[in-house]
Every structure is written in C-alpha cells, then in structure tokens.
C-alpha cells in the first residue's frame, strides 16, 4: 500500500449557508446507540436509503424483499454490461476522507492518532487479519484527508444531508467518514444509491467508537468496518431472519435476529449453521468481531464493479 497523503484543515461554518440534499427513497429502520434507553425508529436525520448499527439486538430490515430483488437484477445487468468477471476478487485501494464534526467547544475533536488507528483497523479487518477463517477481501484503505468542523448542530448529526453535501470529497470510489455524536453507533449508505444521492454517500460513526474511545464494548474501531461493509454492498447477517436468501450471501448462516454481546454457540434458526456472531455485519461486541467471509468478499467485489468502479 502506498504511503497515505494527509492534510489538515479547520473551518467554522454557518448552517444557514447550505441547502439540504434529498436522499434515496428505499424504506429503512435503524438502531439506537447502546446507551439509549429504548429502541427507536430512525430520526429524520437518517436517510431512508441507509443502514445503521446499534447494540440492542433488535432485527432491522433496511430494504424490502421486493426492492432487494430489483437491486440484484440491476446489479447483474450492470455487471454484464461492464463485462465483469464474476468470482474475481477486487484489488482496490480506497481513498478515505475523514470529516471530524466537533462541537463549538471542541467535544468530539478526535486526535489524528485515533484517526490513523482507525485506518489501520479498516485495513486489518478487510485483509482478514483477525482470524484464520476470515477472507482477505482485497480492499485496502489510504487516508486522503482530514478536515475539522466546529458546529454544535453538525456535531449532533442535525441537518445531516446539508453537512454531508457541504463537506463530501472525491467521487463514488472515495469513502467519506463523518465522525460525530449521535444516537447510533454508525450509519451507512449503500452503493446502489450513489447515482441518486452522490452528495450524501458515505458513512457516519459515533466518535467514541474510534480506537481508544470510551464506548464500552464498541471502542475498537469495528463500527467503521461494519458500516464500510454496508457501503460496499453488504446487508446485515440477520437480514430477513430465518429465510432464504436472507443476506444474499451463501456462507453466512441465517439468524433470527441480531446478536448482542458474544454468545458462543448461538443458533437461532433451524437452517444449517450456527449464527455468524463473529461476522462484522452482525451486531456483536467489537471484541467478538473477526471476519468477513469469502462470500461477502465476492459480493463486495461485485458491488464495487457494478456501482463504484
């Protein structure tokens, strides 16, 4: 991997200067930050074409089965039109732009060291570096820039369409990460929604989840890996519950609901295989996560070729 190019910028901004940008139209539900007292529906700041991670273990479905079928058909059409070779793993370095959305007083102004550790974590997780059972996905990440904004509303994930449109950098192949304070561990857009909503494409993560943060059980940087999996086209492993095709990946066994903690041996479905509690796309504790599967790697490669290449 080439040496990352980094730059630093600081800016004070006025929300009144920017217009809101509409996001995609597929229905979504989302999960709360694990410190929240109740499970709630996604607030208005969360786009309807996005997926969220939480810690309460309540099943969510971001995309209806009918919409999933349409997305899969569209993906096959795009891959065929591009002459993509199915089953060939992508070998892609992704430029990452990190936007630190701190409060006016500086709360959430995470250090450059923690940002660098987050990039190291992404590279480790997507390279299969945590388990012998993990797949090397072929995706690597290089920090392309960091900017810092000091605004209470943006820090609290308010007017999210506006601040993403105002700060997003790069094209469809660039990963933008907004680091802020919200009621969710993380939120991501899907690759098939980029064409309709390019200005809001990327992921948002709770700043306390970056490596070295204070989020109990979720402070190893795995939230960003989970959300980047969504950004590359993966559903939750519990998508659809005990059904086929559930998450549309054949080597992630179906599970009835999201995992909480790290319950070894959990088997919530009568279908073959125990719940994939160690998979980055479940809702397990960070310490429990250690793998993407070969099937997930293949799906991410296909989604990259169809929507981001």
**pLDDT per residue as tens digits for the range 108-166:** 999 999 999 999 999 999 999 999 999 999 999 999 999 999 999 999 999 999 999 99
User: What is the pLDDT, as a whole number, of residue 85?
Assistant: 79
SS3 letters for 64-82? CHHHHHHHHHHHHHHHHHH
- What's the pTM value of the predicted model, to 2 decimals? 0.84
Shortest CA distance to 195 belongs to which of 49, 46, 97, 307? 307
Residue matched to tokens 């960091």: 146
Q: Rounding to the nearest 10 degrees, give the CA dihedral for residues 53, 59, 62, 66.
A: 160
Positions marked catalytic: 227
pLDDT in tens, 175-234: 999 999 999 999 999 999 999 999 999 999 999 999 999 999 999 999 999 999 999 999
Q: Can you give the pLDDT at residue 54?
A: 60
Amino acid 63: pLDDT: 77
- Supply the pLDDT for residue 1: 20
Distance CA 185, CA 60 (A): 14
Number of H helices and E strands in the chain, helices first, is 6, 7
Instruction: Supply the pLDDT for residue 21.
Output: 28
Could you give the 3-state DSSP secondary structure of residue 26?
coil
Instruction: Encode pLDDT of 52-65 as tens digits.
Output: 786 432 334 457 88
Alpha-carbon distance 34 to 54, whole Å?
A: 6
DSSP 43: P
Q: What is the pLDDT of residue 3?
A: 19
Q: What is the pLDDT of residue 62?
A: 58
Do the beta carbons of residue 225 and residue 280 sit within 8 Å?
Answer: yes
Q: Which residues pair with 205 in a beta bridge?
A: 179, 186
Are 122 and 224 in contact, with CB atoms under 8 Å apart? yes
Distances (CA, A) of 145 to 117, 164, 178, 226: 14, 15, 12, 21
């Amino acid at each position: 991997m080439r040496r990352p190019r980094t730059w630093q910028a600081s800016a004070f901004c006025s929300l009144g200067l920017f217009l809101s940008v509409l996001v995609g139209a597929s229905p979504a539900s989302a999960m709360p930050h694990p410190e929240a007292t109740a499970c709630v529906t996604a607030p208005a700041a969360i786009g309807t074409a996005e997926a969220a991670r939480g810690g309460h273990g309540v099943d969510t479905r971001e995309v209806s089965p009918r919409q999933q079928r349409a997305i899969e058909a569209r993906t096959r059409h795009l891959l065929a039109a591009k002459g993509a070779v199915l089953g060939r793993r992508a070998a892609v370095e992704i430029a990452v732009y990190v936007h630190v959305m701190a409060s006016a007083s500086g709360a959430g102004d995470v250090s450059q060291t923690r940002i660098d550790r987050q990039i190291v974590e992404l590279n480790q997780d997507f390279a299969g570096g945590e388990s012998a059972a993990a797949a090397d996905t072929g995706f690597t990440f290089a920090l392309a820039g960091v900017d810092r904004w000091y605004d209470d509303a943006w820090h609290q994930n308010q007017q999210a369409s506006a601040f993403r449109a105002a700060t997003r950098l790069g094209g469809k192949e660039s990963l933008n990460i907004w680091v802020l304070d919200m009621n969710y561990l993380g939120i991501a857009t899907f690759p098939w929604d980029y064409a309709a909503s390019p200005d809001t494409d990327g992921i948002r993560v709770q700043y306390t989840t970056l490596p070295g943060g204070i989020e109990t059980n979720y402070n190893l940087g795995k939230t960003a890996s989970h959300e980047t999996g969504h950004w590359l086209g993966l559903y939750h492993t519990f998508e659809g519950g005990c059904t086929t095709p559930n998450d549309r990946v054949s080597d992630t066994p179906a599970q009835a609901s999201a995992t909480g903690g790290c319950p070894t041996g959990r088997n919530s479905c009568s279908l073959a295989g125990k719940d994939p509690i160690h998979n980055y796309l479940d809702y397990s504790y960070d310490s429990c996560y250690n793998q993407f599967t070969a099937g997930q790697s293949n799906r991410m490669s296909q989604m990259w070729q169809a929507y981001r290449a």
